[in-house]
Amino acid sequence: MTSAVAPGPLLRVNDLKVHFNAKSAPIRAVDGVSFDLARGETLGIVGESGCGKTTTGMSIVNLTQATSGDVIFDGVDLTHLHSLPKSRQLELRRRIQVVFQDPYSSLNPRKTLTQTLDKPLRIHGLTAAERKDRIAYLLEKVGLSPKQADRYPHEFSGGQRQRIGIARALAVSPELIICDEAVSALDVSIQAQIINLLLDLQEEFNLSYLFISHDLAVVEHVADRVAVMYLGKIVEMAPYQALFTDPQHPYTQALLSAIPVPDPRRRGARLVLQGDVSSPLNAPSGCPFHTRCARKSSVCQVVAPPLTGIAEDHSVSCHNL
Amino acid sequence: MPEAIKLLQVSGLRTEFRTPAGAVQAVRGVSFGLDPGETVGIVGESGSGKSVTALTILRLIKSPPGRISAGSVKFRGIDLLAQDDAYMRSIRGNRISMIFQEPMTSLNPLMTVGDQLAEVMQWHQNLSRREGMNRAIELLRKVQIPSPEKRVRDYPHHMSGGMRQRVMIAIALACDPAILIADEPTTALDVTIQSQIMDLMLGLKDEFGSAVLMITHDLGVIAEMAQRVIVMYAGQVVEAGSVYEIFDEPLHPYTQALLRSVPKLGSRTEKGRHRLQEIPGLVASLINIPDGCAFRERCRFAGPECNGAIELQAAGDGRMVRCIKVA
């Protein structure tokens, strides 16, 4: 049970910036990202390589240090986590967990499933008996058999390993799970199993998900709201219905149209975007997307458009809507 | 049987790999044909044998641990599996060429892209280096690389992932091959770049007239590019047919389940966050495969009759299916 339900969102990210190599030529990996996430809600973050979606997720849990901006989790600013007492830090860390993309490299190959799951429980102060019960409970929740508890990661398939990764995240009863490309490395038949598992767990534990993915079809399936990122900025954010049926930003439109649909009768309907994804190494001035945009005008090369609300919960950053 | 000689006819192909745990039977009796100019897609999940099939066709299987244990690969009637290495070298990159998934690891980081392109033509067409470089510029232009006269002197690390894949395609097409094998050519690319590369391949295919064997796990890419589709599972062909037949009316329970388990863009109903149709269980292990249907443990139609040997059978005009419940 959570304590009294706070008014306000569980997570509020405000003008988050992550700049690497900030002294000489800064790489603006994340450049002013803001969003809210409510309890039990899923926010999808989509975009292509280098758009800053993973860096955004990692800076929320301090795996990457934010350059500026606030990450307010249940009223506490996580960017100043280190100034809090250790016990308070531990408590906050317990409440946010991460499921990573690659179930091969994110599990310690020299630890059995039990050892992997035992560690976080011990850190968070459970007794041996409690830990044993908890591990059995977790395995059952993610669809693994207690008989497999003493096996090593290499004895499991990719899908099973991702179940272990989810069990590890769930172990300490978090409220927010950051899923960073959590199903991207999996075969489609296994991907469906893991997506269903994540949906079931969310319903049971009222989890909030920050669901980071490049796969728009998966995001449409799991997210309540979706933020589209391009070169470190959110270019469009909307509830999933609006984003997928009525996208407004030219990049969102192109991204949606570029996906090959598994239906041969709809072939050739793709809108092909010219040019490469710009690199944050030499980001263009003005609107980050203007180098590839069919709708660009002179103002786009100079002034970066702000993210502006166009309908309830629907905001877009474009000069030429 | 007096039949016209196929461009490519793969028959009863078997490839296995020796491992400490036992022989991994990666390809277990695969047969299919390829006609001039057509695009055939091979679709399947990890471990289905689709890539090993492609590598076996070009005899790129390292031995040991690999071994091509049975079957034939007839290119214009000549069995490639029976030829010597010199013959294979004259085929690879010339008559049959291949594009791989990862353009960074399949290009030589120490050679300019121009030299890599010219090398193919120097080797197979006896062009001089100068002629080769001129042709290289022409080919880079064909794959729509801007300012090819400059780019020809670039090293692979100067280029983005999409550009490198364009260079790979240029190398593959340099000698005007009869067959182009593309193994997950767009999988490592971002969607907007994938879309560009698919368009490029479709355009060049019309221009060069090569037959394409397109290997992918992505049903969207298959639907976009292929005319015929071969579905593989656990080292075997489980279904084959035209792209419309496979997507409109899949016959094999695995194909049906696979198509249903993919989240499709625009399929989420208002408010309804329905569970996806999952395929229960795990992909079958390829060591000590029992007789009978490899999919039966995950199949909702399976019965005791699925334990016996099950052949790929004709199911109407040009369609094949390996299921006792259907045929």
Query: Is the pLDDT assigned to residue A191 strictly greater than 80?
Result: yes
Cα(B224)–Cα(A267) distance, rounded to whole angstroms? Answer: 5
Residue A260 forms part of a structural domain: yes
Best of A41, A156, A187, A277 to mutate (most B CBs within 10 Å, chain B) = A187
User: Any CB–CB contact under 8 A between B276 and chain A?
Assistant: yes
| Chain B environment of A245 (Cβ under 8 Å) | 266
pLDDT at B270 over 60: no
What does the alpha-carbon distance between residue B279 and residue A113 come to, in Å, rounded to a whole number? 24
Say yes or no to pLDDT of A27 above 80: yes
- Residue of chain B minimizing CA distance to A274: B196
CB contact under 8 A, B190 and A262: no
Q: Distance between terminal CA atoms of chain A?
A: 45
Per-residue pLDDT tens digits for B130-185: 999 999 999 999 999 989 999 999 999 999 888 999 999 999 999 999 999 999 99
**How would residue B1 be classed by pLDDT, with cut points 50, 70 and 90?**
very low
**Strand ranges, E, within A202-285:** 208-213, 225-230, 233-239
Q: Check whether B292 has a pLDDT greater than 60.
A: yes
Banded model confidence at residue B103, pLDDT cuts 50, 70, 90 = confident
For the entire predicted model, the pTM comes to 0.89
pLDDT tens per residue across span A40-57: 999 999 998 889 999 999
Per CB-CB distance under 8 Å, the chain A contacts of B294 are none
CA distances from A218 to A168, A321, B58, B279 (A): 23, 27, 36, 16
Question: Helix or strand or coil: residue A178?
Answer: strand
Contact call for residues B156 and B207 (beta carbons, < 8 A) = no
Chain A residues inside the 8 Å CB shell of B194: 258, 260
Cβ(A27)–Cβ(A280) under 8 Å? yes
- Residue A264 falls within a domain, yes or no? yes
Nearest Cα to Cα of residue A143 among A111, A80, A190: A190
- Report the share of chain B in percent with pLDDT over 90: 74
pLDDT at A197: 93
Residues of chain A neighbouring B284 (CB-CB closer than 8 A)? none
| C-alpha atoms less than 13 angstroms from C-alpha of B199 in its C-beta half-sphere | 17
Pick the closest to residue A77 from A86, A87, A66 (CA basis): A66
Model pLDDT, residue B269:
65
Q: Which pLDDT score, from 0 to 100, does residue A26 have?
A: 83
Is the Cβ pair A192, B160 closer than 8 Å?
A: no
Is the pLDDT higher at A160 or at A268? Answer: A160
- What residues of chain A lie within 8 A of the CB of B192, using their CB? 48, 254-255, 258, 272-273, 277
Query: Among residues of chain A, what percentage have pLDDT more than 70?
Result: 97
Chain-chain contact of A276 with B247 (C-beta, under 8 angstroms): no
Judge whether residue A190 has pLDDT over 60: yes
- Do the domain assignments include residue A258? yes
In this model, does residue B256 exceed pLDDT 60? Answer: yes
B278 interfacial to chain A (CB closer than 8 Å): yes
Top mean pLDDT of A39-48, A261-270, B314-323 is at A39-48
d(CA A228, CA A238): 9
Tell me, what's the pLDDT at B253?
96
Q: Determine contact: B272 vs chain A, CB below 8 A.
A: no
B158 touches chain A (CB under 8 A): no
Å between A217 CA and nearest CA of chain B = 5
Say whether B163 and A217 touch across the interface (CB within 8 A): no
Total residues belonging to chain A: 321
**Do residues A279 and A268 make contact, with C-beta atoms less than 8 angstroms apart?**
no
Report B:238-267 residues touching A (Cβ under 8 A): 243-244, 247, 257-259, 261-267
DSSP A305: P
Task: Report the candidate in B289, B299, B308, B188 with the shortest Cα–Cα distance to residue B251.
Answer: B299
Cis check for the bond before A305: say yes or no (omega within 30 of 0): no
Q: How far apart are CA B143 and CA A14, in angstroms?
A: 43
Judged against a pLDDT cut of 70, whether residue A287 lies above it is answered with: yes
Closest approach of A239 to chain B, Cα-based (Å): 11
Q: How far are the Cα atoms of B89, B114, B117, B118, B124 from residue B128, in angstroms, in the given order?
A: 19, 13, 12, 9, 11
| B295 contacts in chain A (CB < 8 Å) | none
Q: Is residue A217 part of a domain?
A: no
Structurally, chain A folds into a number of domains equal to 1
pLDDT digits (tens, 9 = 90+) for A112-145: 999 999 999 999 889 999 999 999 999 999 999 8
Q: How far is A259 from chain B (nearest CA, A)?
A: 6
Does the residue A186 lie in any domain? Answer: no
Distances (CA, A) of A242 to A238, A251, A305, B60, B290: 6, 15, 20, 49, 50
pLDDT-derived band at B98, boundaries 50, 70, 90: very high
> Which of B244, B257, B282 is nearest residue A264 as measured by Cβ atoms?
B244
Three-state DSSP at B15 gives strand
**What per-residue confidence (pLDDT) applies to B291?**
85
Residue A299 lies in a domain: yes
Domain assignment present for residue A206? The answer is no
Tokens for B262, please give them: 């993919």
pLDDT tens-digit profile of A204-254? Answer: 999 999 999 999 999 999 999 999 999 999 999 999 999 999 999 999 999
Q: What DSSP character marks residue B45?
A: -
Q: What is the mean pLDDT of chain B?
A: 91
Q: Is the pLDDT of residue A22 over 50?
A: yes
Looking from the CA of B166 toward its CB, the CA atoms found within 13 Å total 30
CB of A244 closer than 8 Å to CB of B266: yes
Residue A3 has pLDDT above 80, yes or no: no
| 3-class secondary-structure state, position A231 | coil
Nearest CB to B219 within list A159, A256, A262: A262
Q: Is B277 within 8 Å of A259 when comparing Cβ atoms? A: no
Cα–Cα distance, A227 to A316 (Å, whole number)? 10
* Of residues A273, A2, A290, A94, the one with CA closest to residue B192: A273
The predicted structure's pLDDT at residue A174 = 96
Q: What is the pLDDT of residue B283?
A: 79
Instruction: Give residue-wise pLDDT tens across range B30-86.
Output: 999 999 999 999 999 888 999 999 999 999 999 889 999 999 999 999 999 999 999
Banded pLDDT at A166 (limits 50, 70, 90): very high
Predicted pLDDT of residue B276: 84
Range of the domain at A269: 250-321
* A218 located within any domain: no
Which of B199, B228, B278 is best to mutate for the A interface (most A CBs within 10 A)?
Answer: B278
